[in-house]
C-alpha cells in the first residue's frame, strides 16, 4: 500500500485543536461516547472499466471502519444530499461558508452537508479507478465548518491510495483512507495489527493468528493436543501459551516473526500457565503449582529463568495481567474471597486489593493501553457462566456494561488504539471472535469457522 499526499492547505491549528479535544474525549469518557464529530462519507464511484464489485467492497469497508470507531459518529447515508461531489472541482468554490445560498439541488457545497438533515461536521469524497493494473482511489476529506470560507483551507487531506486490482486491494485502500480520517480525531491506526486466538477448527485447540479485520487467518501451532491461553509480548514479537503437548499443562513461547518455538524453562509442576509480559517484554508473570497447593503467581525472566514467587495466598491465583503503562502493578483473578474475583496488587505481590464488587464471578481482566481501565468478564447478578464484558475505571472502580443479551462473552483484549476491544462471544454451541468499540457499539464477528476463543490483540509496534 502506497499513499501520496496531494497538495494540502489545511489549517493546522484547527486540526491540532480537534485532535486535542478528541483525545480528551476518548481517554476521559471512553465508555459514554458524547460529543463526537459527525462524519459523512458518501459512496465513492468508479471511473473507467473497473470491476464493479471493487467499489462496493471499498465503500462497505470504509463504512465499517468508521462505524466501528469510537472517535466519530458516522452519519447514515440516507441523510445525505442527492448530489455527491467526487473531486475538489465539483465543490463550488467560495460557497463553503455559512453565507452561501442554498442550491436548487444541494450537495456540491460543503454548506449543503452541514445543513439538516445531514448535519455533518466533516465530509469525505472521492472516486476509484484502474491505473496501469492497480486499484487507485482518490480520497479527500473536508470540514464543513462555517467559519472557513476557503475550499482549500477546508480540505484536511487529499491522497491517492493504490492497491492490487482485487478485493484485497480494495479493502486495503479503504482501511488506509478510513485510518486517515480517524487520525484527524486522534484515532490510532490499527492497520497492520493482528489478533492471536485459539481455534479448534482442525479438531484440536491450536493457536491461530489473523489480521485485525479478520482476514488472513492462519494456524501457528500444530500439536494436535490442547494449546490455549495465549498472550503476546508488548513488543509484538512473542506469543506465549499453555499446551498439553508434553503431557502436562506447560508454557511455551513462539516467535511471531519466525513461527518457531523459543526457549522457556518450565518449573516442575502439575501446571504452569497464563503468561503476562512486563512492558519491556523481558519478564513474565505466570501461575504455577511448583510449590504444591493452589496455583500461585511467580515472576521470571522471559525464558523462565530467575523464577521467584509473588503470592502466597493459599487459594487459586490465575490470569495475572501486568499494567502495560507502568509495569509496577498487576491485576489477577483470585479465590481470596470465595468465588473468583479480580484483584490488584503491586509487582512484588503486596498491597493486595479487590477491584471487582464481590458479587458473582469476575474473571479475564484486561488493561486498557493507558492503564486507566480494565475490561473484564463478570456474571454480576446473573447465573454462573453467564458472563458479560464490563469496563472498570481502576481508580473509581465504577463499571459500565458493554455486552448484554448476546450469549456468553469472555476474554476481552484491547486494541493498541485503546478504542476497540476484541472478545469471545458464544451465542449457541460455538464461540466466535467479535470486536466492538470500547463503548460497546459497533459489534461484529471476525471468525465463523469452528469454535474460536481467547483473542489477544497484538500490539502493532515492532
Q: How far is CA 342 from CA 107, 164, 317, 318, 360, in A?
A: 53, 47, 10, 10, 11
Stretch that binds other proteins, among 77-85, 137-145, 188-196, 338-346 (CB under 8 A): 338-346
273 near other proteins, rule: CB under 8 A: yes
- Closer by beta carbon to other proteins, 80 or else 197: 197
Interface with other proteins includes 61 (CB under 8 A)?
no
Q: Which is nearer to other proteins, 3 or 204 (CB)?
A: 204
Select 156 or 316, whichever has its Cβ closest to other proteins.
316
Applying CB under 8 A, which of residues 74, 141, 229, 390 lies at the interface with other proteins? 229
From 73, 175, 194, 205, residue interacting with other proteins (rule: CB under 8 A): 205
Q: Which stretch binds other proteins (CB under 8 A): 19-27, 51-59, 160-168, 290-298?
A: 290-298
Closest CA to 243 of 217, 264, 218, 212: 264
Q: Considering CB under 8 A, how many residues would be counted as binding other proteins?
A: 38
Residues 346-385 that bind other proteins (CB under 8 A): 361, 363-364, 377, 384-385
Smallest distance, other proteins to C-beta of residue 357, A: 17
Report the site for other proteins in 427-446 (rule: CB under 8 A): 429
Nearest distance from C-beta of residue 383 to other proteins, angstroms: 8
Identify which of residues 213 and 319 has a Cβ nearer to other proteins in the complex.
319
Residues that bind other proteins (CB under 8 A): 205, 226, 228-229, 242, 247-249, 270-271, 273-274, 287, 289, 292-295, 316-319, 333, 335, 338-340, 361, 363-364, 377, 384-385, 387, 410, 429, 453-454
Amino acid at each position: 500500500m502506497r499513499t501520496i499526499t496531494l497538495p494540502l492547505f489545511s489549517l493546522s491549528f484547527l486540526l491540532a485543536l480537534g485532535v486535542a479535544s478528541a483525545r480528551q474525549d476518548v481517554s476521559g469518557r471512553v465508555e459514554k461516547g458524547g460529543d463526537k464529530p459527525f462524519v459523512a462519507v458518501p459512496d465513492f464511484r468508479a471511473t473507467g472499466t473497473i470491476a464493479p464489485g471493487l467499489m462496493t467492497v471499498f465503500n462497505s469497508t470504509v463504512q465499517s471502519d468508521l462505524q466501528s470507531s469510537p472517535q466519530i459518529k458516522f452519519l447514515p447515508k440516507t441523510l445525505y444530499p442527492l448530489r455527491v461531489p467526487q473531486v475538489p472541482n465539483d465543490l463550488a468554490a467560495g460557497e463553503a461558508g455559512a453565507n452561501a445560498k442554498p442550491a436548487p439541488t444541494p450537495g456540491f457545497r460543503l454548506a449543503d452537508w452541514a445543513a439538516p438533515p445531514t448535519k455533518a461536521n466533516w465530509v469525505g469524497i472521492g472516486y476509484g479507478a484502474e491505473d496501469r493494473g492497480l486499484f487507485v482511489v482518490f480520497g479527500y476529506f473536508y470540514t464543513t465548518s462555517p467559519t472557513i470560507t476557503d475550499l482549500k483551507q477546508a480540505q484536511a487531506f487529499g491522497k491517492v491510495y493504490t492497491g492490487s486490482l482485487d478485493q484485497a486491494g480494495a479493502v486495503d485502500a479503504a482501511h488506509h483512507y478510513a485510518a486517515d480520517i480517524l487520525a484527524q480525531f486522534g484515532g490510532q491506526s490499527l492497520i497492520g495489527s493482528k489478533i492471536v486466538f485459539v481455534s479448534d477448527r482442525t479438531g484440536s485447540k491450536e493457536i491461530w493468528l489473523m489480521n485485525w479485520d479478520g482476514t488472513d487467518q492462519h494456524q501457528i501451532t500444530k500439536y494436535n493436543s490442547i494449546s490455549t491461553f495465549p498472550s503476546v509480548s508488548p513488543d509484538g514479537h512473542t506469543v506465549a501459551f499453555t499446551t498439553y503437548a508434553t503431557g502436562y499443562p506447560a508454557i511455551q513461547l513462539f516467535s511471531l516473526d519466525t513461527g518457531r518455538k523459543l526457549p522457556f524453562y518450565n518449573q516442575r509442576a502439575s501446571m504452569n500457565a497464563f503468561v503476562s509480559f512486563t512492558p519491556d517484554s523481558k519478564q513474565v508473570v505466570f501461575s504455577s503449582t511448583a510449590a504444591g497447593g493452589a496455583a500461585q503467581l511467580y515472576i521470571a525472566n522471559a525464558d523462565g529463568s530467575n523464577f521467584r514467587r509473588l503470592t502466597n495466598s493459599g487459594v487459586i491465583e490465575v490470569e495475572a495481567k501486568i499494567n502495560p503503562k507502568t509495569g509496577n502493578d498487576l491485576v489477577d483473578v483470585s479465590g481470596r474471597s470465595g468465588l473468583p474475583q479480580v484483584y490488584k496488587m503491586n509487582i512484588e505481590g503486596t498491597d493486595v486489593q479487590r477491584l471487582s464488587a464481590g458479587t458473582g464471578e469476575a474473571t479475564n481482566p484486561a488493561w486498557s493501553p493507558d492503564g486507566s481501565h480494565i475490561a473484564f468478564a463478570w456474571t454480576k447478578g446473573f447465573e454462573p457462566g453467564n458472563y458479560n464484558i464490563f469496563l472498570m475505571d481502576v481508580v473509581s472502580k465504577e463499571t459500565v456494561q458493554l455486552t448484554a443479551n448476546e450469549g456468553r462473552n469472555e476474554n476481552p483484549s484491547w486494541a493498541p488504539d485503546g478504542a476497540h476491544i476484541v472478545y469471545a462471544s458464544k451465542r449457541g454451541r460455538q464461540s466466535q471472535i467479535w470486536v466492538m468499540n470500547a463503548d460497546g457499539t459497533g459489534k461484529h464477528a471476525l471468525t465463523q469457522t469452528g469454535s474460536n476463543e481467547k483473542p489477544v490483540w497484538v500490539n502493532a509496534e515492532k
